Each structure stands twice: as structure tokens, then as C-alpha cells.
Chain A
């Protein structure tokens, strides 16, 4: 390619770009369109939490704080034995430490932790980045519903188990 054609090409490319719409999104005015699996923040569905501590123990940088106490529940049937139940007192995630690996969400056996695409929780003080259970619970409302399965995908485990149980009942 000769010298002149390269120069002309540079001019042409820049001019063509100028006539097109800019790709910039003006953030505070326009909210970004985030994909459904965006890792914005970790939300807690505390009704599902059984204080099994798996998330806190698997967390690679120990950024999850859980406090709980035991309560005794009266027996279900008369003459039965009293049951004990874990009650969650505190659930906090220090987002100054969290590295958004998502292991806590993977490891939760009771579906109490979810990814939310919400990302506007910056603070001016690093200590205020430890967010408590009420804030984590509020983020549950921003969790999008799971994306639909691929066509011809395997049935979800829950539905497969339910149909199997129904078949057993019927037979």
C-alpha cells in the first residue's frame, strides 16, 4: 500500500465514524443495559437461609459475617420432642473484601444467595461497604428472573423430581 492511500484511508475512517452515532452511554442519565447474569452485588433471600454457614466457610477472603442463635420450638405433636431451630441474627457481606467470585452463591444449598445486577452502592468510607442483611434483602427485589433454558435442554431438577414423585403416587 502506498503512502498516500494509507493517509486517505485514515481520513475516510475517521470521517465515516464522525457521521455515525457515538456509542457512548451517558451513565447517570442513561442506565446501562446489563446482561441478566451480571455480577453486580450479592443479594440475600434471608427466608431461605438456615445458617448452615457454608457460604461463610467457603468464602475465599472471609468477607461474610453470620451471627445466629438457637431457639426451641415446641413439639409438633403432643408428647413429642422439642425441636431446635437456627435463627439468623446478622448476615453481612464486606464488599470492600468481596472479590465477586460467586462461590457463596454456588455453594448455598437452600437458594438463599443470588447475583443482582445492581451496582450503585459506592460509599465514601470503606467501612460503610459492609452491608447488613436488610440491605442485602432489599437487593433481592432487583434479582432478575433466571434466563429461560435452551431449547431441548434437560428438564430442571425440581420438575424432574416432582414428575417422578407424581408418577410414583399414581402407580
Chain B
């Protein structure tokens, strides 16, 4: 692997990391608006408000970066980076198309991706703990509880796919993929996607940042660029969770003309899942913190275990 090749791959990963979350953010503006009978941003940039997030970015940069007097300064300043950078790292391992169209092929891809994904949530915990604010602390603790509850179904449903493919590598899983895996792993896919949604603290699992109860949870004390990083992390998280669901449960780049258009199928599947994430936010009310726990332990974990059993049975029968 020569230097130029690595540079091109890293550049592509960085570009995806900078561009896709903004596209999702703009998509959320517009989709949410139209679902509520509005039109959303229309002026920034001239054409249907395409530059709204650029304008928002400029606004955030201009704002003062305040740190509360009682805050743990170092941790407080570090938290947005801890929340954001793991998603950049995860994108490295997500395959875009066939024949090595991936930042870096990793043999333990699923382990790597899920482990790094878990680090991102630590950013919210650090922010909540370091802010010296009771709302931030409540938000941080809710985040922690949610992380504990939903990491398990996330791992179990991913493990089911790894069992089916017989490999932990994301590219290996896509190599072994057959179309009938989609109905076979359907329950696991739903569990994975739902748990991913909960990890991201997206509605209907947004009790940790519930503005009506605890201001803005762990992000209450943040302003300016650091706050923008947390928002960006949320949208990068949507991209990553949608892309992972597409890779693990929807066959990633598999589709007609996969040799030439594989990357397009992957992007389309990811975009469709991102749309579902936004749709869920518009359509559904927030779950209470205790309902979130109940849902994880009494619904998702048993479903994930059932999926693993099903995967095992089918695997034994077919081999």
C-alpha cells in the first residue's frame, strides 16, 4: 500500500465525514418541514435554502465559547471532540463499494466499529459530568443509562450477522451476502437500527436531551463551535448508524450492476435509512426515561436473542 493510495482513501473518508452529515442535516430541515406542512429554509444560498447549514456554521463560529466557572475545564473542552471524532474513525471501516472500495479493510471490522461507536457516547457523559450543572448531570446520567441498556441489543444483533457470515470483517460479510439474508436477519436489523437510534439519542429516544424537562441535557452549558460539534456528531452518528445497518442487514453495495454502481446502492440505502431516522423524529413522541429502559430490556434484548437463535438454527440446518 503506497502513500498516494492511503492519502486518497483518507481524503475520501474525510470528505464523506464532512459532507454526508451536512446533507442529512439539510435533509432533516426540509423533510421535517414538509412533513409538518411547512417549506423549511428557503433563502440562504438562493435556491431552496441549500446553504442554511453553512450559514448556521458561520453563526456558530462567531459565537462566544463560554465555559462555566465551576466546570472541569479540560474535560469540558475535550468532550465535543470525544463525541465527534469516533464517527470519523468509524467511517474508515465502512465499505462503500466492491473491490476494496473502503477506507481500510479490518479483519475485526464489527468489533472495531461497535467499540469506537461506544466511545462517541462518552462525549455526552463527559459533557454532562464536567459542566457543573444539574441539568447537564441529569442528561449525562440518562445518557449513561441508555448506553448501558442499548449497547447489548446492538452487539447481539450485530453478532447474529457475524454468525451468519462466519466472519467479523465488514467487507467479508458483504462478500458472503445473499439476498435472502434480508428476511432472515430482519428482526436483527430492526433491533440494530432501533438500538442505534437510541445510542444516538435521537427521537423517540431523546430523553437525555429532552428540552422540556432538562433544558438540553449534557449540552446545556455549551455554546459556539463546541455546541456545533455536538450537533455535527449527532448527524455524523445518523450517517454511521444508517450506513452500518445498510452494510450489515441490507447488503450494502449489493444490487443490480453492483460492479459499477455498487457505491450508489450503498449511498441510496444509507440515505433511505437516514430518511427513516428523520421520519421517526417527526412522527413519534418521546419515550420517558423508564419506558426507554423497559423497551430495551423487555423488547429489544429478547428479540435480539431470538434472532441469534434463529440464525444459529438456520446456519446448522444449511451447513
Could you tell me which A residues sit within 8 Å of B by CB distance? 7, 10-11, 13-15, 17-18, 20, 22-24, 26
* Docked CA distance A130–B31 (Å): 44
Distance between A9 CB and nearest chain B CB, rounded to angstroms: 9
Q: Hey, what's the 0/1 contact readout for B26-44 against A, CB within 8 Å counting as 1?
A: 0000010111111100100
Contact indicator B37/A23 (Cβ below 8 Å): yes
B283 within 8 A of A: yes
B284 within 8 A of A: yes
29 contacts between A and B (CB under 8 A): A7-B283, A10-B283, A10-B284, A11-B279, A11-B283, A13-B283, A14-B35, A14-B36, A14-B279, A14-B282, A14-B283, A15-B35, A15-B279, A17-B34, A17-B35, A17-B36, A18-B35, A20-B37, A22-B34, A22-B37, A22-B38, A22-B39, A23-B37, A23-B38, A24-B37, A24-B38, A24-B39, A26-B39, A26-B42
Distance between A77 CB and nearest chain B CB, rounded to angstroms: 68
**B8-67 CB contacts (< 8 Å) to partner A:** 31, 33-39, 42
B33: which of A7, A11, A13, A22 is its contact (CB, 8 Å)? A22
**Cβ of B36: which chain A residues have Cβ within 8 Å of it?**
14, 17
**Cβ of B279: which chain A residues have Cβ within 8 Å of it?**
11, 14-15
For A29, the closest partner residue in chain B by CB is B42
* Docked CA distance A66–B75 (Å): 67
Distance between B107 CB and nearest chain A CB, rounded to angstroms: 39
Given contacts A10-B283, A17-B34, 16 further A-B contacts (CB under 8 A): A7-B284, A11-B279, A11-B283, A14-B282, A15-B35, A17-B37, A18-B31, A18-B34, A18-B35, A20-B37, A22-B33, A22-B34, A22-B37, A22-B38, A23-B37, A24-B38
Name the 7 nearest CB pairs between A and B, nearest first. A10-B283, A14-B35, A18-B34, A22-B39, A14-B283, A24-B39, A18-B35
**Cβ of A20: which chain B residues have Cβ within 8 Å of it?**
37
* Docked CA distance A13–B279 (Å): 11
Could you tell me which B residues sit within 8 Å of A by CB distance? 31, 33-39, 42, 279, 282-284
For B280, the closest partner residue in chain A by CB is A11
**Cβ of B34: which chain A residues have Cβ within 8 Å of it?**
17-18, 22
**Cβ of B39: which chain A residues have Cβ within 8 Å of it?**
22, 24, 26
Distance between A170 CB and nearest chain B CB, rounded to angstroms: 62
Distance between A114 CB and nearest chain B CB, rounded to angstroms: 35
For A28, the closest partner residue in chain B by CB is B43
**Cβ of B31: which chain A residues have Cβ within 8 Å of it?**
18
**Cβ of A13: which chain B residues have Cβ within 8 Å of it?**
283
* Docked CA distance A79–B38 (Å): 75
* Docked CA distance A70–B35 (Å): 65
* Docked CA distance A164–B264 (Å): 84
**Cβ of A18: which chain B residues have Cβ within 8 Å of it?**
31, 34-35
* Docked CA distance A7–B34 (Å): 19
Distance between A1 CB and nearest chain B CB, rounded to angstroms: 14
For B34, the closest partner residue in chain A by CB is A18
Distance between A76 CB and nearest chain B CB, rounded to angstroms: 63
* Docked CA distance A10–B279 (Å): 10
**Cβ of A17: which chain B residues have Cβ within 8 Å of it?**
34-37
For B42, the closest partner residue in chain A by CB is A26
For B276, the closest partner residue in chain A by CB is A11
For A8, the closest partner residue in chain B by CB is B283
